[in-house]
Amino acid sequence: MLNHFSKIQTISLPLSREEDWKVSLPNKVKGLDEGLVVLNCRDWLLTYRDFQKIEALCGTKGLQIEIIISTRTETIVSASSLGYQAKLSLNNNQKKPTNSEIDSNNNHNDLPLLFHRGTIRSGENLDSEGDILLLGDVNPGAKISAVGNILIWGKLRGNAHAGKLGDDQAKIIALQLRPLQLRISQAIARGPEEKPQAGFAEEAILESGQIVIKPANPNLLRAHTAQNVFIS
Amino acid sequence: MTKSTRIILICSGKGGVGKTTLTANLGIALAKRGVNTAVLDADFGLRNLDLLLGLENRIVYTAQEVLDESCRLEQALVKHKQEPNLSLLPAGNPRMLDWLTPDDMQRIVALLSEQFDYVLIDCPAGVEDGFKNAVAAAKEAIVVTNPEVSAVRDADRVIGLLNTHGVQPVQLVLNRVRPKMMASQEMLSVDDVTDILALPLLGLVLEDEQVIVSTNRGEPLTLSSNNSPAARCYSNIAGRLQGEQIPMIDPSKEGSGVRAKIRRLMQTKIF
């Protein structure tokens, strides 16, 4: 059994413009030994039925899917709502930040940005290695988490965790901030109970160890980012 | 000849919100409009659809026998007594729970879609295997929910799963609406629900005691000429499903209840 952990194999689907994954997958599975695999879905938009087919095919060779990787957020949301561990990979070879880098460097410009359009529904979760920009709502029972900041152009009514690797400067911004629970870095807070004021975007930040909600600062993320825009 | 059969899953996540009642009434309402309709009870562990339609004592075979090829599809289909356009196909025997797979479901529905214009699938509660089987063959879905926090939360989860299964379009029916409680803000409003679920609203169904009576009798409300509030709502939903533009009822204007209005009207006539 130990061998399985020391050697995790990878199945990479072809890019969607090159070849249909349904054609090439049987050949890719053929050459593998039984054990855990990482499934890299590249840019394919896969549904539950697709994952069922893949699972069945892998099952015939005794392969068990350990992690699903994709460059499409829709596929990630599908996979994670089906109970798989799913990770978003970013196209442009951006390196993953490490804990020490985040602590020593508050400049988030080098963190990747995950953009997703659509509602995150109860039981689903969206996770990013950088910042998240969501065009849609986070419903009660859903979870959104990021190494960096979380920006929601919509209503936040589920759970959100910004700066999940320990960045105290991370922010959560939403047009309507009425979450069940908020987390920034190590701090946890319950969402406010009163009805939101209409028409004001709000942000949650960490002030001396406490999460506070304020009207959103127009200099959205970092003051110097905004300056850069004006200078150039 | 290829005709496009509409295969509609009726689901909710939470139990007891009115999936089966909607399936039965919608089936009758569509059949009355002259549409060849089949209702498939995918909740075969706790099957109720035959009860609501009053067809319990007529079931001889089920889809299980059709797939085993021990009977023909026509033998398993139970035609409704008064509405011959409506047929019921029970999915299986409650004592044999684990026979059905998503593949079986697709085969049954493929058989049904050769004969019918509409196939309504009554989905079991929950999001486990029963749901996964039922959803396998569905092309579109109607999510039923009540104006309650728990029902809305479960509906939200189901909508997410329907999206991952690629079921499109998904429409919403809000059941058991009590206009008085909505007006006094004791109940989630229509806006509260559509705000969270972000789905097109196919219809509202008013709370109606007649539903209980009709369930116990095994005669869906839409069957009789009875013009009870819920019956009108179900007929409107059937019309909208066929693409008719029927204005949505406004719960705030239903405040006094339609039957109360009719009663008042009748009283004035007497004098």
Cβ neighbours of residue A168 closer than 8 Å, sequence gap 6 or more: A184, A185, A206
pLDDT at site B262: 62
Closest Cβ opposite residue B153 in set A49, A137, A141: A141
Q: Does the predicted interface ipTM exceed a cut of 0.85?
A: no
Low-confidence residues of chain B, pLDDT below 50? 1, 255, 269-271
Cβ neighbours of residue A88 closer than 8 Å, sequence gap 6 or more: A69, A70, A71, A73, A76, A114, A127, A128, A129
Taking CB atoms and an 8 Å limit, are B165 and A47 in contact across chains? yes
| Residues A145-181 pLDDT 10s | 999 999 999 999 999 999 999 999 999 999 999 999 9
- Residue A2 dihedral angles phi and psi, to the nearest 5°: -60, -35
3-state secondary structure of A69: strand
Of A9 and A136, the structure prediction assigns the larger pLDDT to A136
Closest to B135 measured CA to CA, from B88, B175, B94, B170: B170
Closest Cβ opposite residue A122 in set B136, B160, B195: B160
Tokens of A222: 């970092």
> What DSSP state is assigned to residue B222?
G
d(CA A80, CA A142): 12
Answer for the pair B83, B32: CB distance below 8 angstroms, yes or no.
yes
Q: Could you write out the DSSP letters of every residue in A83-133?
A: T-EEEE--TT-PPPP-HHHHHH---GGGS-EEEEESPBPTT-EEEESSEEE
d(CA A87, CA A77): 10
| Amino acid in position A166 | G
3-state secondary structure of A81: helix
Residues 209-268 on B with a CB inside 8 Å of A are: none
Task: Tell me if chain A has a CB within 8 Å of the CB of B169.
Answer: no
Give me chain A's average pLDDT, please.
80
3-state secondary structure of A188: strand
* Domains of chain B listed by start with CATH number: 6-270 (3.40.50.300)
The radius of gyration of chain A's CA atoms, rounded to the nearest angstrom, is 20
Taking CB atoms and an 8 Å limit, are A52 and B166 in contact across chains? no
Task: Tell me if chain A has a CB within 8 Å of the CB of B192.
Answer: no
The burial class, CB within 10 Å (0-12 / 13-18 / 19+), for B182 is: buried
Exposure b/e, B105-141, CB count within 10 A at least 16 = b: beebbebbbeebbbbbbbbbbbbeebbbbbbbbbbeb
Angstrom CA distances, A154 to A117, A164, B170, B198, B239, stand at 10, 21, 21, 12, 33
d(CA A133, CA A6): 36
Cβ neighbours of residue B228 closer than 8 Å, sequence gap 6 or more: B208, B210, B221, B259
3-state secondary structure of B98: coil
d(CA B28, CA B53): 9
Task: Tell me if chain B has a CB within 8 Å of the CB of A109.
Answer: no
Query: Residue A229's pLDDT band (boundaries 50, 70, 90)?
Result: very low
3-state secondary structure of B50: helix
Rounded to a whole number of angstroms, the distance from the CA of B59 to the nearest CA of chain A is: 32
What residue spans define the domains of chain A? 2-88, 99-224
Q: Could you write out the DSSP letters of every residue in B100-144?
A: --HHHHHHHHHHHHHH-SEEEEEPPSSSSHHHHHHHHT-SEEEEE
Tokens of A11: 């199945």
| Residues A89-138 pLDDT 10s | 765 444 444 444 444 444 545 678 888 888 999 988 888 888 999 999 99
Tokens of B86: 């409506």
> What DSSP state is assigned to residue A63?
E
Q: Regarding the domain delimited by A99-224, which CATH topology (the fold level of the hierarchy) does it fall under?
A: Pectate Lyase C-like (2.160.20)
Angstrom CA distances, B51 to B82, B99, B228, stand at 15, 23, 21
pLDDT at site B269: 43
d(CA B202, CA B196): 16
Task: Tell me if chain A has a CB within 8 Å of the CB of B136.
Answer: yes
End-to-end CA distance of chain B: 61
Task: Tell me if chain A has a CB within 8 Å of the CB of B134.
Answer: no
d(CA B29, CA B208): 17
Taking CB atoms and an 8 Å limit, are A137 and B157 in contact across chains? no
Residues of chain A contacting B154 with CB distance shorter than 8 Å: 122
Taking CB atoms and an 8 Å limit, are A121 and B159 in contact across chains? yes
CATH class of A2-88: alpha beta
Report the DSSP beta bridge partners of residue B107: none
Q: Which chain A residue has the Cα nearest residue B160?
A: A121
pLDDT at site B254: 67
